[in-house]
Amino acid sequence: MKRWDAIVIGAGHNGLVTACYLQRAGLDVLVLEKNDWVGGAAVSRSLTPGFTYSNCSYVCSLFRPEIMRDLELPRHGLQVIAYEGGAVLTQDGDFLGNYRDHEAHRREFARFSARDAEAYDRYSRDVTRQCRFIQPLLMRTAPDPTSLKPRDLGELLYLGRKFAGLGASEMAQTVRFWTMSISDFLDEYFETDVIKAYFALSGIIGTALGPMSPGTAYILLHHYMGEVDGSVGAWGYARGGMGAVTRALAASFQASGGTIRTGAAVDQVLVRNGKAEGVVLEGGEEVWANTVVSNADVKRTFLSLVDERDLPETFLRRVRNFKIRGSSGKVNIALDSLPEFPALPKDSPCLRGDLHFTDSVERMERGYDDWKAGRWSADPFLDVVIPTTLDPTMTSPGKHFMSCFVQYCPPKVEGRDWTDVDRDAFGETVISQIAEYSPGFRDRIVHMEVRTPRELEAEVGLTEGNIFQGELTFDQLLFNRPVPGYAQYRSPIGGLYMCGSSTHPGGGVMGAPGRNAAAEMLRDLKRGTRHMSAAHDVI
Amino acid sequence: MIASVPGRELNPRLALQDHWRAMRRETPFHSRLAALDFRNDWYSWAGCKAPLSLWDEELEYFAIRSQAALIDISPMVKYRIEGPDAETYCERVFVRNVAKLRPGRVHYTAWCDDEGHVLDDGTLFRLAETRFRLCCQERHLPWLLDSAIGFDVTVADETEAVAGLALQGPTSCALLKDAGFAGIERLKPFDLAFFPHEGGTVTISRTGFTGDLGYELFVEAADALSLWDRLWEAGQLRGIRAIGYTALNRARIEAGFIVANADFVTAEHAIRADRVRMPDEIGLGWLVDPGKPHFNGRRAILEARRRRSLGHVLVGLEIEGNVPAEHALVYHAKKKEVGLVSAAIWSPMAKRNIAIASLQRPYGDTRKDDLWVEIYALREGQYMKLMKRATVVPRPFVKLDRRTATPPADA
Amino acid sequence: MTSSEAGRFDAIVIGGGHNGLACAAALGRTGRKVLVLEAADRLGGAAGTHEFAPGFRVSSLAHILNRLHPEMVAGLDLRKHGLALSAGAIPSVALSSAGDPLVLDGAYGERLDGTIDAADRSGWSELRSLLFRQAGILKPFLSRRPPDLGAMSLGQASLLGSAALSLRRLGKEEMREFLRMVLMNVADVLDEHVGDDRLKGLVAFDATLGAHLGPRSPTSLLGLYYRLAGEVAGVTGAQALPKGGMGAVAAALARAAEAAGCKLRPSAVVGRIMVEKGRACGVTLDDGEEIRARTVVSAINPVTTFLDLVGPRHVDTGFVRRLGHIRMKGDAAKLHLALDAPPRFAGLAEEAHRGRLVIAPSVDHVEKAFNPAKYGAYSPEPVMEITLPSLGDPSLAPAGACVLSAVVQFAPYALKQGWEAGKPKFLAAIMAVLECHAPGIGRSVQHAELLTPADIEARFRMPGGHWHHGEMQVDQMLMNRPVHGADGYDTPLDGLFLAGAGSHPGGGISGAPGWNAAKRVVEVRG
């Protein structure tokens, strides 16, 4: 029977990134995907004729340019179309536009507050400073602070030096920034509700935290980091939907000789004498390999694919305690014509970007209160995009696809499982919010896909439907991600690795966990990593 | 339905929604500039359409030095500072002694953050006992407002409300006299006075950014065009010429003036912590008055002086040869890199190759010998690499008696 | 007007609260001539006892001792100066409206009395000792200046070093656990170890007491560490009621200060701190009297100190900006009831009524109580900590009667409807909760006094009515307490020091900020 050099469980973007790097290092790699298609949460699927959806993730902003280059994604068909703007529609019938031009941006803010308009430069400088501090860490394996190994000590020293290099007042500010809520942080710069709401959304997207929760200022960075090293056009749509990202990855992988099997769900990781030897598929087929790497989240990997008896008690306890809370849903809508937003001029570039209807931090936080009580937000925060304003390939002419990311949406409804009735009611909550701002919206709807954490878990395999494969709180960042002691992509089982967003640096369609995992595996295999670009300089 | 909330159309914000359709805004003088423009060579000055050159850079430069050059300075950021505590407020904000600035006078000044790093430089106009106007390059409203906590003073942006012109050159005084600004010849350098214009007032100060005889005129935006026309008509026999930034920049380098975010990085814009500068590091130490009441950054500046921890110095350089050394590296003994040239030209007035450079102390401070600049001159597809000797010289590089003579000689 | 006291004092301490007195006494013992100026007509500040109804006396604000700084207690011989506890350590009680309370006996629940299953007993005992070990790592920071990141002295480096070392001594797994837990929320930590709602509710309440946080807010565990780093009579995590109310603590400190030669002047309202050439050189009182000294220590609120007494013009804009950003809007109200007889809480043994009685039925309940505070509304079902001090100290109430003292959350300082309208409604909400737990208590009330944060601000000169002079959250701790540039008791002005709860390590009746500040003054010879 064939014995593969490596098996990757799950053809999500991180799994494919790992697979590509391993294959290019000369390994013989097999990717196993339970669905009949690849992509994980970065997929484009057609659920109704004439329309393609970005079913889960919907924006290409964080993908590391180093990985795009190494894996030749543009050559394999990836095209990214930059957002042209964005807007927050306000309850008084106005909107706050987001313009790419610096002066237009300032004048737009000045409509609301002269002071806020001029505070923006200092704000963006301070955020940029923090991004520059954290960004180089994305493409490094987090050091183990309890280890005395030279490599860990060296990395700790690197971190220490970087921190000390900031100077006393910047150090003090950095400590504050890392521990503040996005709401408190924004209060230090801005006075206008809608402007704060506009910035605050980046502090909460994908998390089970509210904008007033300490630690959310850091999460802002997680969404901004794509932009600091001169990556032009960082925020954009993948032409053809987000599946284009994973399709390009799959094509790159196959072009370098890799093998993908879809419809092959893994039931168990085969472990012999504390070492992974392959996997057993649902149906009983055994597939053998020297190493196995899991793109699934840490809970799914170790609580369902591995026999508990093969794992140390401390590790198991920490995996069980890993916080992976679904907090968001997704509504994909097929429209027979472009919706109208009377607040926005018809030719506004803001329409060709992300639209929001939550014009105060308080409304966001109240939405979070609902989630804490086990309900979806009655007045949810939506991140709406209509990629077909810029990408004609996803629908037939004149028709449109609207993607609505919805927060907050709990993994269980008041403690019980979701029902179809709940799901439809959740969808209705979203539609009625949009319809408030867009007359005739309902009449344009041709088809709609409503995804609650239940659907995300069932289809993509994300535990509790958490899009980041685990909360981005301090206790689950850096050397704590996913669990202390196993934050370097390895697991207690020899030859079994993790490469999903449960690992450092976390979620978003970034690819960094997949790349870093491949680097660690190749290190263990004593293989070269010269085909992996070093992280871009931040000078 | 939000789209039809009652009273929506009364919201004054809505009228301003369409600003994005003209991302480069036109100044109040734009129609006059456009009529005189033959090059279509515009750049963005603080979001406004401003000319680099309208006709010919050299002719425009010589208008400054030989005749009268008219420059639209409306995009300059302007703040009005007013109230019973205006003087004590300014004293706290700026490094220079404001008590010594009498009403009707202007002075060049700078202001710093708590760490003593320069936030910007600019000119402070004392329009009245309790009213000032600050003109500067960058925007600072949040800083100025936060500085007002505890003072009975208001600070407001008047950048768009007030239009500005600089009239610079040897014939500028005569021109203004011809235009009917009686008594203009009595203004000494850094004096300001008010003159009637079209039922309103024009504020004229004997100031400028050229190191030449010259004036700056400020007027309500609505009166901008009539003021322009008044000067233009009077200037026909005085060689008046509208000019762009390229010519002005040459003149300012000759005068040894520095430009924020060109010759130094302003503290609120510096992303890299080591790019900020104290006044002493950019040649502005002379503005700092340690004897006056407390001002922002005072402790840090005095502490740095005491501990001799100032890292940089800004100097004027005279460089052998005639190839401008813009952005050249400065070396000591041809080997050790000690700084960078931020602005450089061949000076048509001084007939010298001049530069403004930022050096790491002690070079340029106590060690001024054996300095060199490495010039990469791109000539037809190749770099001509020149290592030229540089000498630290005082600024201004060009000193003109007519700049200060009062009354100015009638030209 | 120049005072007859000119030249007589080396140091002036502004504010005669417990921190000001502690600082003054410590400075006095170095031979310095110290003057303490207190605006109120009596000393003690928030550590006072007052008569709120004829014959009924109560601790004005804080009512429990759990963190009096041991170094200070010893250094100032406070016991000799009359500090006494009314009845040794008291238990904490998680009240239950169903009449099934849980009693945490000994130092923070060494023993659990009540119906609770075995798994939770052992889970709690494990968690409790884990938390004590982890709090122990942070404890040395309480008695030192916060680390100065810019210019780290040998002493400070050794403090950090020893913290790192004590971490290592715990062993690898414990060290990992600490680094994981230190910034977690208290609710998640509890969920990882115990299931009992009453127990979790009580601990969640304690972690968020005095903070604008809910138990599910990240970093809320720190509040618990802070509590568990305190000690009473050498027992870490213990708590006690002071005999005579909290005013007795202030009185002992005042006697220690006087014994050290300090002059204490109540009813002396400081109008300005005099600044000459960037140096604080004395104070001017409201009536114009000038008193000069080469050292001025402010043991009052940091924002009041700089914006009102020093004035913005003597400090820099960035510093003023940072002061303005300090979050210090209080959420805790204080309730005093004069009862005609001791109340009976459902299912609670008589003796246990002398404990600290907490109404916080579950983590979710505390979280829900917090939610409205974010939007300027009070909790419709507030959570609270109750003591009945007259049970152990009969001098506080007429014979047969009883004093009830409660700290109640959440009552946001900036109540949207205004406290004038909101106060009676909030009192009714509190009484409804109390009635649930102690049926009939309403009929027993002879007089009720409710101090909202707005009242606390006015009565104790605490801006925002915040007990700690600033939120005790990570971004306002250590080198950021009260703000960078005034951390470690120094200020931008030579000769001016801070010594109040707004400074490291923060609030609570500890005296640590005042005691540490005195050490700093001596160190720089201010």
Per-residue DSSP letters for B260-310?
Answer: BTTTB--TTT--SGGG---GGGGT-GGG--TTSSP-TTHHHHHHHHHHT--
Number of domains in chain A: 3
Mean pLDDT of B13-36: 96
Instruction: Name the token pair of A116.
Output: 């806020």
Q: Distance between the two ends of chain A, CA-based, in angstroms? A: 51
Q: Give burial (CB, 10 Å; 0-12/13-18/19+) of A453.
A: buried
Alpha carbon distance C503, C480 (integer Å): 9
Distance to chain C for B296, nearest Cα, Å: 5
**Judgement on whether residues A373 and A352 belong to the same structural domain of the protein:** yes
Alpha carbon distance C213, A241 (integer Å): 41
| C85 — pLDDT class (breaks 50, 70, 90) | confident
Residue type, B181: F
B299 interface with C at CB cutoff 8 Å: yes
Q: Is residue A94 part of a domain?
A: no
Least confident of A111-120, B99-108, C54-63, C152-161: C152-161
DSSP single-letter state for residue B85:
T
Q: Is residue A531 part of a domain?
A: no
Q: What is the pLDDT of residue A134?
A: 83
Alpha carbon distance C117, C121 (integer Å): 6
Nearest to B131 by CA among B179, B85, B167: B85
Residue type, A64: R
Those residues of chain B whose CB sits closer than 8 Å to some CB in chain A are 1-5, 8, 11, 13-14, 16-20, 23-25, 44, 46-47, 115, 138-142, 145, 157, 268-271, 273
**Judgement on whether residues A431 and A502 belong to the same structural domain of the protein:** no
Contact A293, A9 (CB under 8 A): yes
A492 interface with C at CB cutoff 8 Å: no
Nearest to B364 by CA among B315, B324, B410, B319: B315
Q: Distance between the two ends of chain C, CA-based, in angstroms? A: 25
Summarize pLDDT for C158-212 with one digit per residue, the tens: 666 777 777 777 788 899 999 999 999 999 999 999 999 999 999 999 999 999 9
Q: Is there a contact between A215 and C219 if contact means CB atoms under 8 Å apart?
A: yes
B94 interface with C at CB cutoff 8 Å: no
- Residues of chain A short of pLDDT 50, as ranges, are none
**Judgement on whether residues A220 and A257 belong to the same structural domain of the protein:** no
What residues in B contact A228, CB-CB < 8 Å?
none
Residue of C nearest to A315 (CA): C173
From the list C180, C375, C479, the residue facing A484 with the nearest CB is C180
Output the average pLDDT for chain C.
94
Instruction: Provide the 3-class DSSP secondary structure of residue A446.
Output: strand
Q: Which domain holds residue A446?
A: 328-408+410-451
Residue of C nearest to B268 (CA): C318
| C4 — pLDDT class (breaks 50, 70, 90) | low
From the list C313, C314, C318, the residue facing B114 with the nearest CB is C318
**Judgement on whether residues A336 and A389 belong to the same structural domain of the protein:** yes
Nearest to C26 by CA among C281, C391, C295, C208: C295
Contact A478, A484 (CB under 8 A): no
Please report the beta strands in B306-408, taking only residues with DSSP state E, as ranges in sequence order. Answer: 312-319, 329-332, 336-347, 352-360, 371-379, 382-393
pLDDT at C338 over 70: yes
**Judgement on whether residues A333 and A373 belong to the same structural domain of the protein:** yes
Q: Is residue A169 part of a domain?
A: yes
Q: What is the pLDDT of residue B386?
A: 97
**Residues with Cβ < 8 Å from C421, sequence gap 6 or more?**
none
Mutate to test the interface with C, among A157, A317, A475 (most CBs of C within 10 A): A475
Nearest to B235 by CA among B301, B303, B168: B168
Q: Is residue A268 part of a domain?
A: yes
A105 interface with B at CB cutoff 8 Å: no
CA angle A410, A415, A419 (to 5 degrees): 70
Percent of chain B exceeding pLDDT 70 equals 99
Please report the beta strands in A311-399, taking only residues with DSSP state E, as ranges in sequence order. Answer: 328-335, 353-356, 381-385
| Phi, psi dihedral angles at C97 (to 5 degrees) | -70, -20
Strands C356-359 and C92-94, bridge-based pairing: parallel
Estimate the crossing angle of helix C363-370 against helix C186-193, to 10 degrees: 170
Q: Is residue A426 part of a domain?
A: yes
Q: What is the pLDDT of residue B407?
A: 94
Q: Which domains does chain B have, with CATH numbers?
A: 23-76+161-255 (3.30.1360.120), 77-157 (3.30.70.1400), 311-398 (2.40.30.110)
Nearest to B70 by CA among B105, B107, B110, B27: B27
CA angle B372, B378, B382 (to 5 degrees): 110
Q: Report the neighbours of B using a cutoff of 3 or more CB pairs below 8 angstroms.
A: A, C
Alpha carbon distance A383, A49 (integer Å): 25
Instruction: Name the token pair of B115.
Output: 């760490």
Alpha carbon distance A244, C28 (integer Å): 75
Q: Is residue A447 part of a domain?
A: yes
**Judgement on whether residues A499 and A516 belong to the same structural domain of the protein:** yes
Contact A391, A429 (CB under 8 A): no
Q: What is the pLDDT of residue B187?
A: 98
Angstrom CA distances, A169 to B114, B115, C318, C356, C485, stand at: 10, 9, 11, 42, 8
Alpha carbon distance A18, A519 (integer Å): 9
B94 DSSP β-pair partners:
B111
A17 DSSP β-pair partners:
none
Q: What is the pLDDT of residue C167?
A: 72
**Judgement on whether residues A335 and A447 belong to the same structural domain of the protein:** yes
**Judgement on whether residues A346 and A420 belong to the same structural domain of the protein:** yes
Instruction: Name the token pair of C263.
Output: 């002059």
Q: Which domains does chain C have, with CATH numbers?
A: 11-48+62-85+244-327+465-523 (3.50.50.60), 119-238 (no CATH), 328-460 (3.30.519)
Which residue, A211, A234, A257, sits at the end of a domain?
A234
Which residue, A184, A208, A234, sits at the end of a domain?
A234
Instruction: Provide the 3-class DSSP secondary structure of residue B339.
Output: strand
**Judgement on whether residues A160 and A220 belong to the same structural domain of the protein:** yes
| Phi, psi dihedral angles at A199 (to 5 degrees) | -80, -30
**CATH code of A31's domain:** 3.50.50.60
Q: Is residue A228 part of a domain?
A: yes
pLDDT at C523 over 80: yes
Alpha carbon distance B83, C87 (integer Å): 62
Alpha carbon distance A202, A199 (integer Å): 6
Instruction: Provide the 3-class DSSP secondary structure of residue B366.
Output: coil
**Judgement on whether residues A414 and A311 belong to the same structural domain of the protein:** no
Q: Is there a contact between A474 and C175 if contact means CB atoms under 8 Å apart?
A: no
| Phi, psi dihedral angles at B84 (to 5 degrees) | -55, -35
Q: How big, in percent rounded to 5, are the helix, strand and coil portions of chain A?
A: 40, 20, 40
- Length of chain B, please? 411
Bigger pLDDT: C465 vs C143: C465
**Judgement on whether residues A198 and A256 belong to the same structural domain of the protein:** no
Contact A261, A465 (CB under 8 A): no
Which residue, A209, A234, A259, sits at the end of a domain?
A234
Q: Is residue A387 part of a domain?
A: yes
**CB pairs under 8 A, 24+ apart, for A310-314?**
A310/A271, A310/A274, A310/A492, A310/A493, A311/A492, A311/A493, A312/A492, A314/A485, A314/C173
Instruction: Name the token pair of B44.
Output: 């963005």
Q: Is there a contact between A108 and B19 if contact means CB atoms under 8 Å apart?
A: yes
A111 interface with B at CB cutoff 8 Å: yes
**Judgement on whether residues A447 and A332 belong to the same structural domain of the protein:** yes
Q: What is the pLDDT of residue C273?
A: 98
Instruction: Name the token pair of A193.
Output: 């509700």
Nearest to C56 by CA among C431, C333, C401: C401
Mutate to test the interface with B, among A109, A111, A227 (most CBs of B within 10 A): A111
Alpha carbon distance C216, A381 (integer Å): 20
